[in-house]
Amino acid sequence: ETGVTQTPRHLVMGMTNKKSLKCEQHLGHNAMYWYKQSAKKPLELMFVYSLEERVENNSVPSRFSPECPNSSHLFLHLHTLQPEDSALYLCASSQGLAGGGNEQFFGPGTRLTVL
């Protein structure tokens, strides 16, 4: 595997379910991000981890719970979601936080549908 991978690619869940999204980066980066991409809205930054510590929790509802067990893996745990949470969830990584021209590398995303 190369780059940033995400699983599953598609997920359909009911409002009472609990599920997790997984992200893995194979680039040796030390910062990882979760974004939410909804139709006709700007990309929303949800969480940022640097050296496995959370440095940003961008007013995200508690029904989204991130976990970063090591610098290569990032999870997003989901529980009691709402239909408006349906979106494409993108994971990204970078070497260091924004600055110095370091670009972010994105995974393909998980398309989440909440029924």
Partner 1 sequence: GNSVTQMEGPVTLSEEAFLTINCTYTATGYPSLFWYVQYPGEGLQLLLKATKADDKGSNKGFEATYRKETTSFHLEKGSVQVSDSAVYFCALSGASGTYKYIFGTGTRLKVLA
The percent of the chain in helix, strand and coil, each rounded to the nearest 5, is: 5, 55, 40
CB nearer to partner 1: give 15 or 43. 43
How many whole angstroms separate alpha carbon 36 and alpha carbon 91? 9
Token look-up 């990204």 returns 92
If one asks whether residue 103 binds partner 1 (CB under 8 A), the answer comes out as: yes
Residue placing its CB nearer to partner 1 in the complex, 78 or 92: 92
User: Would you give the binding string for partner 1 spanning residues 8-47, x where CB under 8 A is met?
Assistant: -------------------------x-------xxx-x--
Q: Which one of residues 25, 32, 49, 109 is an interface residue with partner 1 (CB under 8 A)?
A: 109
Closer CB to partner 1, 82 or 102, in the complex: 102
> Which is closer to partner 1, CB of 16 or CB of 100?
100
- For β-strands 110-114 and 87-94, DSSP reports them as antiparallel
CA angle 38–42–45, rounded 5-degree value? 85
d(CA 12, CA 26): 27
Q: Contact positions toward partner 1, by CB under 8 A? A: 4, 6, 33, 41-43, 45, 48, 55-56, 90, 92, 94, 97-109
